[in-house]
Structure 1
Amino acid sequence: MLLTNLNAATMRDHYGLIEDAAILIEDGRIAWVGPRAEAPSGMHGINCQGRLVTPGLIDCHTHLVYGGNRAHEFEMRLGGIAYADIAKSGGGIASTVRATRTQSEGELVASALKRLDALLAEGITTVEIKSGYGLDERTELKMLRVVRELDKLRPVDVAATYLGAHAIPPEFHNDREGYVKLICEQVIPAVVKFRLADAVDAFCEKIAFTVEETARVFEAARAHGLRIKLHAEQLSNLGGAKMAASFNALSVDHIEYLDDSGVEAIAKSGTVAVLLPGAFYYLREKQAPPVAALRHHGVPMAIATDLNPGSSPIHSILTTMNMACVLFGLRPDEALRGVTVNGARALGLNDRGMIVPGMKADLAIWDAERPGDLCYPIGYNPLTAVIKNGKTVRGTLS
């Protein structure tokens, strides 16, 4: 497949834009990219009519498999009740846990597909999905089986993350030690045995797990060959990001309260900072992530929807990119890098996120002139077509 007459945002550096470009795809990979005048001869090219082509987008942090609905909590928060107070009274994550435990795998697949389809309609070709709404072995494994099934049902690569350390389940309310032991000694080995996850995540926060408890979970994950991610410094600064950096974590996510020493630690470890403006928006937070410090230390910044039933029910990666610019002050090129090359890095994937030879031919084709146009509007989707592994899976190319 030879695509011609396009503007290619290769993402090599900033946008890495090549105007009036061509892209050659062979065996599901990018074989060549460059000016159209230098394209390989002797091939029939598909005219993209001057459209913008980017790497397929990557949503590196979602919780889109769950049961139930928490719209009533949205109303409570608007009425002045804090997210932490709702969680302490049995709402929040615990509410979704109760609903998810009662649903079958088939029911969870059906509801998750609707959410996944909304993401795919905006050019997503790789998505990460976490468990964390079971908090017992049976339901956590059920959720992860659903995640693996979604990978088979849609033209998208799905990275699965075990998030058992999301909250203390009610049956362990008076036995935190027992629950951490269950995660480390029983569930993580089962997750690895059945090949249900690629990484382990945890929620290190005052309303969730301490730094010490989280470190024990990460020790078990590392011992079983699983990569590490962390919800860190979202509501306070406990030092979780620095601890995660000591484990060479793939990413630390949220990080609104990350301090300078934490930024320096993740810069040294090569850990990606994943910014989640949807949760910041829905929880009406006031303290934004330390974007200037992250830039100064050269920390790669990714962006994700954090699609979940409570604090970020956002089904639009394009809206998330806009929010990252408006709420956090990112430049449009940083936002696009956040859902391409840096989104891939946050998942430990080095074969996608850029349009360069050797990379997977995962491409999104847009009815747009410039890469920055993707961050500008809200509620407008200029996607024309998606190519996944070298094959057109959405839209048509003439």
Structure 2
Amino acid sequence: MNLGSIGPRGGTADYDVAVAGFGPVGATAALTLARAGLRVVVLERERRLSDDPSESRASTFHPPTLEILDDLGVAGDLHEVGLVSDTYQYRDRREGLVAHFDLSSIAGDTRFPYRLQSEQRNLVEIIAAELRAMPNVTVAMGTRVTGVEAGPDGAEFTVEPGGRVRARWAIGADGARSDVRAGLGIEFTGMTYPEQFLVVSTTEDFAKLVPGIASVNYISDPVEWLVLLRTPLHWRALFPIPPGADAEAEAQAPAEIQRRLQSIAPLDRDYDVAHSRIYRVHQRVAERFRDGPVLLAGDAAHINNPLGGLGMNSGIHDAAAAAAAILAAEDGDRRAVDGYAETRRAVARDYVRVVTHQNWESLKEQDPGERARHAARMRAIAADPVRAREHLLRATMLAGSRTATGTPR
């Protein structure tokens, strides 16, 4: 892997595939294509990979995602820096445990009947190590796409610092504020949630503080719902906060963070807080996932709320499907890239967006009758082995992952 060498300053460099973005989506696509022997360049606007252990980005890898990564030969290393989570729970702030789900019930459907908790930066670092041994890969850090032209013979990127990159195919995996998507003039329609989300990471062990708690928990409440999950280094809590600068400042105050954590499980001292941040949450899907030889993937193509851990996972599925489509087109099947764009957009629109929004609706439900009915439904599903398996197949993205989601399984 070459670092930061895409050709002479002001000149043009030629590749088979250009990948914009070196997050988990771009990294997966780059490794897949490079393993097939294509000349790949990765353009990453940041100057270095994140090495912040407290960074509160995506951390849940679902079974079909682990299958994709296993086929790439990187799942083993990811497990070494991950935490296996084979159960999760729906809880209520006032009533406690509502439903408990054990992923061992889908052992016949996947070789990974669990979630793996591991920060997304771990996957990127593992793939970067793989790419270093590959002479057909160039990773250009600190290189931003400032212009893109898509034509019948390929794509051409203008990049900063000066230069141009030309490739037969390109994948825009450069995040929610995608320069590739903007350069192609593709609309990114959808909505922004009214509340913001506060994420707090603590080194305190909730497994000792809340008897019987799972490593992933969705906790409903009409006033202050939350998601509580364990990662290899921390427990992480996600809370909603109302919009507005005053509410944002109040939510980040140390005393308010302590109040929220103490409301989960009281301690006779302050919680140790490793990291906290606030972010806005959107549900948006790109108007189209393809413009000629350029395919969009991951957050560049669709973003959603994090409830259920579908964002990074669906993005990695995009990466695998986009790479498979390009390889099929290289072998003469030009319809494959059209199939990618249609299928993956349908998944983002009809599955990921729908499921994550339903999760949000159920957690914040205020009507007592509807809350009781939802709790009764979840208890009934958890108590019925057949319905529980169907629920888990959908929640873990296994349902249709080998067909409807367009992943090359």
Tell me which interval the TM-score lies in, with the shorter structure as reference length.
Answer: under 0.3
Instruction: Looking at secondary structure, tell me which structure has more strand per residue.
Output: 2
Could you tell me the TM-score, scaled by structure 1's length?
0.22
